[in-house]
Chains A and B, each alone.
Chain A
Amino acid sequence: MEMNEHIDALLRQVQRPARYVGGEYGQVVKDKADVDVRFAFCFPDTYEIGMSNLGMKILYGVLNDMPGVWCERVFAPWGDMAEKLRQEHIPLWALESGDPLSDFDIIAFSIGYEMAYTTVLDMLDLGGVPIHASERMGLEHMVMAGGGCMCNIEPMADFFDLCFLGEGEDVDREVLALYQKAKREGWDKPRFLRQAAQIEGVYIPSLYDIAYNADGTVAAITPKDGAPEKVRKRIVEDFDACYFPTKPVVPSTEIVHDRVSLEVFRGCIRGCRFCQAGHTNRPVRSRKAETLLKLGKETLENTGYQELNLSSLSTSDYRELSELCDGLLDYCRPRGISLSLPSLRADNFSMDIMHRVQQVRKSGLTFAPEAGTQRLRDVINKNVTEEDLLNSCRIAFQGGWNGVKLYFMLGLPTETDEDVLGIADLAKKVYWTWREAAPDRSRGVRITVSTSEFIPKPHTPFQWEAQISREEYLRRVKLLTDALAKAKSVTYNWHDAEMSLVEAALARGDRRVGAVVEEVWKNGGRLESWSDYFALDRWLAAFPACGLDMDFYATRGRPTEELQPWEHMDCAVSRRHLERERERAYEGVLTPDCRAGCAGCGASRLLKEGVCRG
């Protein structure tokens, strides 16, 4: 990439310019003469967030391993930089070549959270690419998307040409190969999209007509031109053999998760009823400890990182966790490399592992009971008892830890004031546990209680639920604040409900919500997962401006008979299972985890033998 004086002058005027220039160790640079498809992998957030994303590292490696394909990285500039680019009429560029986004054949976004939607439009616009799919007529500037949000991407349907449902390792390659063929043979865009729709895991929004009822609910979703009635998500069946990026780009400037992240397994055996990732990533598939050990060492050697993190939705549930930790510690300890284990459950086994791993630094422990009473924890199928939690805390305090963070949600289905007050009781019990267990009380203890608002998400048993209103959330926050006011050593943090309201409306939005996203972006909305830039007023104004009601999407409970906007997306877990789980929630009946007994969710359909083994 050539740094001319114009760009150099600009970079000197912005915060942290290193994030805009590329050149890091491990970046892939190809000779344009050998490249027939230029692929811009766009992450609709900052460099610091995007470079921490494992999915991006995986696909960067997978795509660049394809002959003729050059995949480059593009991130959203921070506000000061975005302003300068617009002022100076400089298009957003890709880090490797410095070429503008408009030079690329394929512009693909990885979207993991709804609040990134406006940033997608902003990046396209900054890059000189028309935002609407209908304005892009040719085979060039094919705008694609993948990631967690694809399980209901309807609000972005007018902007994307092609979406990937599920895991990208295989389907991305297949689509790219088809694109190479289309380009070689001079197909037009409609022909390419029609063909691509035949690949499993590919969703072409423009090939579906949506009809609405007079009350605004969806009446029918009709595929056309041979597109499948339901798009089935893709998975990598043999996860042990799945590609892992052992030679990723190593950022020269600091990012959020600046370490090796080793993906232990995909999916989750727990069926927490509020959790979207736990439902949409099934079935569970693991890597062998032996494989992980090899991949971990290799990546540490190739990157020079001093920290390794075991990542998954619930790392305690990894069958070979003990062997893996021992193996990794044997390698890491003599080299001063630290091992971190997030997402551990509050049980004895996990505490034992924790002790072995964190012998040097005793930082805080984090638990997520999610709800304050056993009744409500049973409703959400969070298989953690008060006894488990206090036991774990006792072991931790005995071992010298002196900080615990407890995460909860407010507004879960069936929640009463008693459940809210139960959070305060639990925090107080943790405090008394510390009094009893701590070998040295002179250092004190820090118990942090955090609450956020429950957001009903598609493809979960709670997908039909109403979100509580902002006012109600704030009332419950007040209730808890008062209850904790005199509690010793307890700090209470609560996340504002403003962003949750928007997230709820977008998560279950239909195609018409796309106009709202566009309106908010036109009024300056971008990087809205950052409180620096989020403004609720823009959203409150945009819904009515587009003839829509925000409450219809966010706070309305839906009857289970209603056709939901995402019902043509098949994420493997069946609707029948979700309905059944919803009923069990209301009955307060627990569903055992996948290993204790198969609940027949339907995800095993994706496996050749039809049996989950994770």
Chain B
Amino acid sequence: MDKLRLKFSKTGRAVYLSHLDLMRTMQRVFSRAGVPLKYSEGFNPHAKISIILPLSVGTASLCEYMDFALTEERDLATLPEALNAYMPEGIRALEAYEAPCKGAELRWLMVEGVMKGGRDAAFYTEFFARDTIPVTRKAKRGMRTDDIAPAIQAVQFNDMEGGVAVKAILHAQDPTVSPELMMAALGEDAPAYWRFTRLEAFKEDLTPFR
């Protein structure tokens, strides 16, 4: 079975797993569950799996996607349950299905987070309401400055106990705006601590990505 997609969540202790850790872990989960992944040919065979838009270490997600292929037919409806019996803490398979589109079509991610040790909601609201939000970052050749304002939508800040709660829809590919970049844009007004979770994924036209 080719072109399959697994939707899963990565929360709790699992947020500290790197992308490579996760790839290795997923292979072993499939192997423990007796679900045979398709492997590449050659001297150093590796499982044909790919994770769309790998998370950075420390960020949680309720909407991760992994594309994979199996060497035999499986009931996709019961696959998540079968895999979950063999998962480490913090990773849950949610849904398995035939991929209806390419992973590259995932364009927007809704995220929520908490920001502590910085300014209040009013300050951040005003900051991100500006027409242009320039961020300077390292590029292949020297430093590059981009305007990330068009890549941030529906951003909301609310004061909460001890900090500010934030929710936004960020452009995830071409260009990529991660929560880290959003924080970096704040410069000296960036909070001392922040933590984000991916909630939902969308296509370019903001229809749900599957």
Residues of A within 8 A of B31 (CB): 304-306
> Given A5-B116, A21-B16, A23-B12, A360–B21 Cβ distance below 8 Å?
no
Q: Is the interface of B mostly helix, strand, loop or mixed?
A: mixed
Q: Which of B13, B16, B32 contacts A301 (CB 8 A)?
A: B32
Q: Which of A253, A301, A305, A306 contacts B17 (CB 8 A)?
A: A253
Q: Which of B13, B18, B27, B192 contacts A21 (CB 8 A)?
A: B13
Task: Say yes or no: B32 contacts A302, CB within 8 Å.
Answer: yes
A11-33 CB mask vs B (1 if < 8 Å, else 0) is 11000111011111101000000
A340-381 CB mask vs B (1 if < 8 Å, else 0) is 000000000000000000001100000000000000000000
Among A1, A18, A250, A361, find the residue whose CB has the most chain B CB atoms closer than 10 A: A18
Task: Say yes or no: A3 contacts B193, CB within 8 Å.
Answer: no
B97 within 8 A of A: no
A8 within 8 A of B: yes
Task: Say yes or no: A22 contacts B13, CB within 8 Å.
Answer: yes
- Lowest 4 A-B CB distances belong to which pairs? A304-B28, A304-B31, A23-B89, A23-B13
A303 within 8 A of B: yes
Residues of A within 8 A of B25 (CB): 25, 252
Task: Say yes or no: A304 contacts B43, CB within 8 Å.
Answer: no
- How far apart are A439's CB and chain B's nearest CB, in angstroms? 19
- How far apart are B93's CB and chain A's nearest CB, in angstroms? 14
Known: A18-B17, A25-B87, A253-B18. 20 other contacts (CB 8 A): A1-B13, A8-B58, A9-B192, A9-B193, A11-B16, A11-B58, A12-B58, A16-B18, A18-B16, A23-B89, A252-B14, A252-B22, A252-B24, A253-B21, A254-B21, A254-B24, A301-B32, A304-B29, A360-B43, A361-B43
Residues of B within 8 A of A360 (CB): 43
Task: Say yes or no: B29 contacts A336, CB within 8 Å.
Answer: no
Task: Say yes or no: A304 contacts B30, CB within 8 Å.
Answer: yes
List B residues 1-30 near A (Cβ within 8 Å): 12-14, 16-18, 20-22, 24-25, 27-30
Residues of B within 8 A of A336 (CB): 39, 45
Instruction: Give the number of residues in A that approach B within 8 Å (Cβ atoms).
Output: 30
Residues of B in contact with A, size category = 20 to 34
- How far apart are B41's CB and chain A's nearest CB, in angstroms? 11
Q: Which of A11, A25, A301, A305 contacts B88 (CB 8 A)?
A: A25
- How far apart are A455's CB and chain B's nearest CB, in angstroms? 36
> Given A11-B58, A18-B17, A252-B17, A23–B195 Cβ distance below 8 Å?
no
B57 within 8 A of A: yes
Task: Say yes or no: A304 contacts B17, CB within 8 Å.
Answer: no
Residues of B within 8 A of A250 (CB): 28, 88
Task: Say yes or no: B20 contacts A254, CB within 8 Å.
Answer: yes
Nearest A residue to B58 via CB reads A12
Task: Say yes or no: B30 contacts A3, CB within 8 Å.
Answer: no
B87-102 CB mask vs A (1 if < 8 Å, else 0) is 1111000000000000
- How far apart are A304's CB and chain B's nearest CB, in angstroms? 3
Q: Is the interface of A mostly helix, strand, loop or mixed?
A: loop
List A residues 275-318 near B (Cβ within 8 Å): 301-306
9 A-B Cβ contacts within 8 A?
A3-B13, A8-B195, A9-B192, A16-B18, A18-B16, A22-B89, A27-B89, A250-B28, A305-B28
Complex Cα–Cα for A24 and B31 (A): 16
Residues of A within 8 A of B13 (CB): 1, 3, 21-23
Complex Cα–Cα for A9 and B88 (A): 22
Complex Cα–Cα for A23 and B92 (A): 13
B25-51 CB mask vs A (1 if < 8 Å, else 0) is 101111110100001000111000000
Q: Which of A5, A12, A18 contacts B18 (CB 8 A)?
A: A18
Nearest A residue to B57 via CB reads A17
Nearest B residue to A20 via CB reads B16
Task: Say yes or no: A18 contacts B86, CB within 8 Å.
Answer: no
- How far apart are A93's CB and chain B's nearest CB, in angstroms? 12
B106-150 CB mask vs A (1 if < 8 Å, else 0) is 000000000010000000000000000000000000000000000
Complex Cα–Cα for A380 and B43 (A): 40
Task: Say yes or no: A17 contacts B16, CB within 8 Å.
Answer: yes
Complex Cα–Cα for A62 and B90 (A): 26
- How far apart are A252's CB and chain B's nearest CB, in angstroms? 5
> Given A5-B193, A9-B193, A303–B17 Cβ distance below 8 Å?
no
- How far apart are A1's CB and chain B's nearest CB, in angstroms? 7
Nearest B residue to A361 via CB reads B43
Complex Cα–Cα for A9 and B191 (A): 12
Complex Cα–Cα for A254 and B88 (A): 14
> Given A5-B195, A8-B58, A252–B88 Cβ distance below 8 Å?
yes
Complex Cα–Cα for A361 and B42 (A): 11
Complex Cα–Cα for A24 and B24 (A): 13
Residues of A within 8 A of B58 (CB): 8, 11-12, 17
Residues of B within 8 A of A305 (CB): 28, 31
> Given A336-B45, A361-B43, A25–B86 Cβ distance below 8 Å?
yes
List B residues 162-178 near A (Cβ within 8 Å): none
List B residues 54-109 near A (Cβ within 8 Å): 57-58, 86-90
Residues of A within 8 A of B32 (CB): 25, 301-304
Residues of A within 8 A of B43 (CB): 360-361
- How far apart are B68's CB and chain A's nearest CB, in angstroms? 15
Nearest A residue to B117 via CB reads A9
Complex Cα–Cα for A16 and B16 (A): 8
Residues of A within 8 A of B87 (CB): 25
